[in-house]
Amino acid sequence: MHPEVFGISILWLFLYGYLIVASIDFGAGFYSYYCKLKKKDHITNGLIHRYLSPVWEVTNVFLIFFMVGLIGFFPDTAYYYGTALLIPGSLALVLLVIRGSFYAFSRYGARESSLYMFLYGSTGLLIPASLSTVLTISQGGFIEEQNGLIVFKAKELLLNPYSWSVVLLAIVSVLFISASFLTYYARKAQDQPAERVLRGFALSWSVPTILASIFVFLSLRQHSPWHFESIVELAWMFGASLFFFSIAVGLLWSKAAYGCAFLCVMCQFGFAFYGYGASHLPYILYPYITIQDSVTNPQMLDALILAFLAGLMLLLPSLYLLVRLFLFNARYVKGSGS
């Protein structure tokens, strides 16, 4: 494997990790708010917060990891994206800041505040929407180099059907991933009322997820024919994604094996995400940055890969410990431990 392919695969893995853990978090925020409006919050919120409390900070790190790694492996991205994304990037930051800090405040009484719950719920949908536009921009057409200056065409982005289809997909995916995980978690906690509510959410967001995906494919065909063609070549990956989706929905429907159902959801998004990423290559930003011509120099690449492997040896056991102590600890999940 070429080192730059290795580099981008690592980064993609972390972005995928962020996609899953952050979706659970973002969706949970939205459901908390929704349930509060419907006066059902007493059913679900204890469960949601028992899960989120120890992991929210870890969620954030996945994103930072991706951004820092991208600049380390492909320094040109800093120049193009950095110049173009001042406004959208800053807005996304503000949303992340509100959510992250208010999450910590919430542990000390802010939970009763409607304003807080509103911010918590709405940022849960706005953040994925704003982050997903970076993927749209990477398709090309929204950043242009004119006389040596980088110009970001915000208006075209806002008026483009493809960019809206991606936003839509991001939001419904978040809600689907989150609900399917929380359903599984509720069963582990033997919390039947919460399980009923969350299973309903999962099932009702499954169909929009697929519809939004189809919509993305159709608009991508219009927007980036080059990308659509390479997607067709990797059609099996998207087929696999659909296959896992149907199994997940089947399991949720028949109220069986929610753990498996969530694994299938992870596979569904894993295949789709890797299929999307692989078909996007060699471009990181069409047509300005490809993985070959922007890669950092070989010594740095070696050092980064070394650092990555060493870091992973530290991370994996730690993450395992975290999961063992909270996610798969029966006493903690049910709310009786600590």
Q: How many CA atoms lie within 13 A of 76 on its CB side?
A: 16
Is 211 near another protein (CB under 8 A)?
no
Question: For residues 218 and 301, which CB has a smaller minimum distance to another protein in the complex?
Answer: 301
Measured torsion, CA atoms of residues 315, 321, 323, 326, in degrees rounded to the nearest 10: -140
Q: Is 122 exposed, middle or buried (0-12, 13-18, 19+ CB in 10 A)?
A: middle
Binding to another protein in span 10-29, by CB under 8 A = none
Is 37 near another protein (CB under 8 A)?
no
Question: For residues 137 and 264, which CB has a smaller minimum distance to another protein in the complex?
Answer: 137
Among 13, 55, 234, 327, indicate the residue that binds another protein (CB under 8 A): 55
Is 296 near another protein (CB under 8 A)?
yes
What is the C-alpha separation between 292 and 5, in angstroms, rounded?
Answer: 9
Is 82 near another protein (CB under 8 A)?
yes
For the chain, helix (H) and strand (E) counts, in that order, are 14, 4
Is 322 near another protein (CB under 8 A)?
yes
What is the C-alpha separation between 123 and 105, in angstroms, rounded?
Answer: 15
Is 122 near another protein (CB under 8 A)?
no
Is 325 near another protein (CB under 8 A)?
yes
Is 83 near another protein (CB under 8 A)?
yes
Q: For residue 148, give the H/E element and its range.
A: none
Question: For residues 93 and 256, which CB has a smaller minimum distance to another protein in the complex?
Answer: 93
What is the C-alpha separation between 264 and 246, in angstroms, rounded?
Answer: 9
Contact of 3 with 295, CB cutoff 8 Å = yes
Apex CA 303: angle with CA 302 and CA 309, to 5°?
Answer: 90
Question: For residues 100 and 277, which CB has a smaller minimum distance to another protein in the complex?
Answer: 100
Q: Enter the DSSP assignment of 152.
A: E
Among 85, 127, 172, 249, indicate the residue that binds another protein (CB under 8 A): 85
Catalogue the long-range contacts made by 92-99 (C-beta closer than 8 Å, 24 or more residues apart). Answer: 92/127, 92/130, 92/131, 95/123, 95/126, 95/127, 95/130, 96/60, 96/63, 96/123, 96/127, 98/123, 99/29, 99/123, 99/124, 99/127
Among 5, 13, 98, 242, indicate the residue that binds another protein (CB under 8 A): 98
Question: For residues 76 and 228, which CB has a smaller minimum distance to another protein in the complex?
Answer: 76
Is 71 near another protein (CB under 8 A)?
yes
Interface map 131-170 toward another protein (x if CB under 8 A):
------------------xx-x------------------
Question: Which residues of the shown chain bind another protein in the complex (CB under 8 A)?
Answer: 53-55, 57-58, 60-61, 63-65, 67-69, 71-73, 75-76, 78-87, 89-90, 93-94, 96-98, 100-105, 107-110, 149-150, 152, 296-297, 299-300, 303-304, 307-308, 311, 314-315, 318-319, 321-322, 325-326, 332, 337-338
